[in-house]
Structure 1
């Protein structure tokens, strides 16, 4: 068996963080599995995503342009569902990226939207 078991992202512990991620993860098929002070786990059936804080978190902002994770890509279902997510995202703390090339910023055969949240985390929502 292959694939990811889970991914853990360190985030700041504030209501904006939880609201932004909760909104997006629900739209791409994750369900909230567990909560604890300073963290949440979201299940996708075959793996899970952990958003948590840490006492070891450095007081510098996330920068996807530095070595490390650039973005997470989520399967979002139909093209219409990707369009709906992109249309509603800014009302939920996400900024659309590459709008001038939407929905084919990844190439003519790739239907997806890219978003960035207030902390600088980038995600891609991809049509099946």
Structure 2
């Protein structure tokens, strides 16, 4: 028969064997998880490398287009400045003589019509007053 010490040793050996079996199972599962993780990371790396290359190409093309837009903007600014200068030139070349001709014409009209105006204005005022008086008499 077994003594208590022998029985305790047998129970301890059995518990130790169960513990070693459980740890072996856990290690096997952990190895599978690590293997799947390694495969997943390799797959992600294979997929992202072309995407990053494509994105770098897209950014480079976008920068080229922005450079072209900047050049166009500078050219439009230059054209705008030229049109502004041309407008000022035309205004000074044509506008000043036209103003002078208009001022001359106004002065000429005043000089010619000044005498007639002095004669016509009192006569027109008198006619307007007479017409108003006539309306008042008709209304009363």
**TM norm. shorter chain > 0.5:** no
Greater fraction of residues in helix? 2
Query: TM-score under structure 1 normalisation?
Result: 0.14
Larger radius of gyration: 2
